[in-house]
Amino acid sequence: MTEATSRATTTRHRAGAAALALFCAIVGSRTDAAAAHLPRAPFARSSIWNRKVPLAATFADVQDALFGDAARAPKSLGVDLVTLCETDASAPLTNVERSSGWTYPQRAQSSGQVLYRRHLAPDACLDVAWNRLGNALFVLYDPTSGLADLGIGGWRERGGPLLGTAADGSNAHGLDVRRGDGIHGYGRGSLLPALGGLLRAHELSRGIRHAVAVVLPTTRLSATRHFVWPASSADGLADVTYQGPNPDFAMGTLLAIPRSVRLREHLWRTKQGRRLATAAQLYGWYVVDSVLAPQVQLAIENDAARTDLGLAIDADTGRMSVDPAKVDADGLTADVLQILSLVRAVVSNAP
């Protein structure tokens, strides 16, 4: 599969999310025995994910792109789940094999082609699951070297091979988790790595100290300028699906709430929303991928979704729900939409 084909596939699978909200979806997810021990602040301090929006940043208004078309403007909140797992030098070598697709209910199949091999415990990487509505992104981290493999369309049964659909190219390997710039990766339409901007466990309750990766409606992205730095690509069907009027709203755009906006003067219905707003003002939100639904999706690791949102999957129906004791679903949706109403594009963002 070429990178262009992969990006087109990504968009097609996101198209199925049109009727989804964060709190009502069909998606595959299972529980790992333990979460991966990746650094709490991946990449170098100077990386795009860890640097603050400069006080002298130059902004452009992109509200026409976000909300100018009411029918296509984001109305609901979704999650873009990413599985974090790690290798174990004491575990047996396990095949990472190319998937040939999936069959109902959300069951991937191996083509028999071995992409590469890694030392994996039998219960590692069980959260990742190819399904009809998501990308099943995974980051396979080697704690010894600090490097990671990136995958899309993942699936693993206990003790079996790890399956994926991504091409085994250079962007899929060697991600420097500890000291890298966090720019080059695989799986997203922007080609920014899945680990970048990912919401980690407890950050929604304790604070977010990095830029946040978000997925926004495909049709609102610029029809004339498909991507901007730090993105290095756009969706494979961008020429057809990107129909937005504003060249400052593109794949890779850094959205931020200007410092002149006083967050305390706005009503925030949830603590999670208030923390996301603070992150949007201090670090910004990067547009890393697109969805055909009128929706905004937050990139979040599976473990964080369970810990901070009480995410649960019904074993019989696959329907997703959150714990109302942990998050007010309607309130968080309202808060995230309010954040989008306050952001501007940081047009001075540069290497």
pLDDT in tens, 123-170: 999 888 755 446 789 999 999 999 999 998 888 989 999 998 877 788
Flag residues of the chain having pLDDT under 70: 1-36, 102-107, 130-134, 313-319
How high is the pLDDT of residue 134?
A: 62
Q: What are phi and psi of 306, to 5 degrees?
A: -75, -45
pLDDT of residue 33: 44
pLDDT at res. 28: 37
Residues 334, 69: Cα–Cα separation, whole Å? 18
What is the DSSP track for 40-70? Answer: SS-S-TTSTTTSPPPTT--EE--HHHHHSST
Q: What is the pLDDT of residue 266?
A: 98
- pLDDT in the model for residue 100: 84
Radius of gyration of the CA atoms of the chain, in A: 19
What confidence score (pLDDT) does residue 27 get? 36
pTM of this structure: 0.89
Query: One-letter amino acid identity for 230?
Result: P
